A and B are shown apart, each in its own frame.
Chain A
Amino acid sequence: MSKSKGNVIDPLDLIEKYSADALRFTLLSMASPGTDVKLSEDRVKGYRNFLNKLWNANNFLITNECDFNKTDRIPKTTLNINKWIYSELIQTKDKIEKNLKDYRFDEAAKNAYQFAWHSYCDWYIELSKTILFSDDEKSKKEVKEVSAYIFKQILVILHPFIPFVTEKIWLKNKFDKSDKNFPNACELAIR
């Protein structure tokens, strides 16, 4: 960006147009150590689309009556697609942890993005549709529980990168009510 060339991009304009989360995620993903960030509006637009994708995935779960109340721990998995997505989640979590430890926030953001968009939205949801739209009630129940559980974990791993939209979806789904593992502020004060 150069003031004399007049190609400066005002971050406030981008936030107004595409949201703070979209800009934040763009900058994080592009900030590889030792390189300049070649920011363009199209990139921010692309990450805004990613936020839309998350929102739509949540709407899909709501429409299909997926169970947000049983998301404290991984439900029992017997179906191949459920075992597969859980294994993908754990692998992604490990990669993100390693990259955060190494201060590679760009790589960590990319890992979370890849898992949420490609593994979960592109493949898991598409594969699960054949079960959700079938008459197999037992498999349907398992898919509804696992899809909600994995989506909750997606919100957790994405929260450091895109805090606003994840918080919004989290509150919308009332996930705090179901999470008994994390002590709340009052409990901490009593201790």
Chain B
Amino acid sequence: MHANWPSGKAKKDQSMKDVESIINVISELRSFKNELNVSPGSFIDISINKIAKKNKTLMTNNEIILKKLGRINNFFDHDQQKPSATLVISGDIFKIYFDENVDLNLIKENLLKRQNKYQEEMDKISQRLSNKGFTDRAPKNIVEQEKTNYSNLKDDIKKISLTIESL
């Protein structure tokens, strides 16, 4: 195998930023489905009514790619009169309409259950951390780990609250 090491310089221009934006939208849509426990293969409809004009043009120009990789059936210019979830991507508000088979109430219920479970875990950690015997005697790294777990759970609960609000 004989080859020169790659060479060259590339300047970042708007076209590359556009590709990155498209990738970001698709990634966020996939993560959102995963968060809601919706099948990744299911198709959705999207309303782009409330997104910036510049980004609306970008979406329209790349409609084929977004529809294929983001598994989107329809783009709507106006909000629809049916149950939806709200997703914020880089400051733009997207309204997502799931397949009729997706039960948003069940998703909400599951998220609430998960939130309660995290809250219970958080309370236990909080009790341990307020116990002076534990904080004085336990190895420092264990105490630190407990503090990290506490803040992670707090972040998770906040995220779940935002998702529930969006439904």
Contact = CB atoms under 8 A, between A and B. Distances in A.
A90 B8 CA distance: 7
Contacts of B19: 80-81, 83-84, 127
Interface string A154-175: 0111010000001100110001
A89 B6 contact: yes
A128 B3 CA distance: 26
Interface residues of B, number: 24
Contacts of B68: 129-130
A156 B3 contact: yes
B20 A166 contact: no
Contacts of B142: none
Contacts of A170: 1
A189 B69 CA distance: 52
Given A86-B10, A91-B10, A156-B4, 19 more contacts: A80-B16, A81-B19, A84-B16, A86-B8, A87-B10, A89-B10, A90-B8, A93-B5, A93-B6, A123-B23, A127-B69, A129-B68, A130-B65, A155-B1, A155-B3, A156-B3, A157-B5, A159-B1, A182-B2
25 contacts: A74-B8, A80-B15, A80-B16, A80-B19, A84-B16, A84-B19, A86-B8, A87-B10, A87-B11, A87-B12, A90-B6, A91-B10, A93-B5, A126-B69, A127-B19, A127-B22, A130-B64, A152-B3, A155-B1, A156-B3, A157-B6, A170-B1, A171-B1, A176-B1, A181-B3
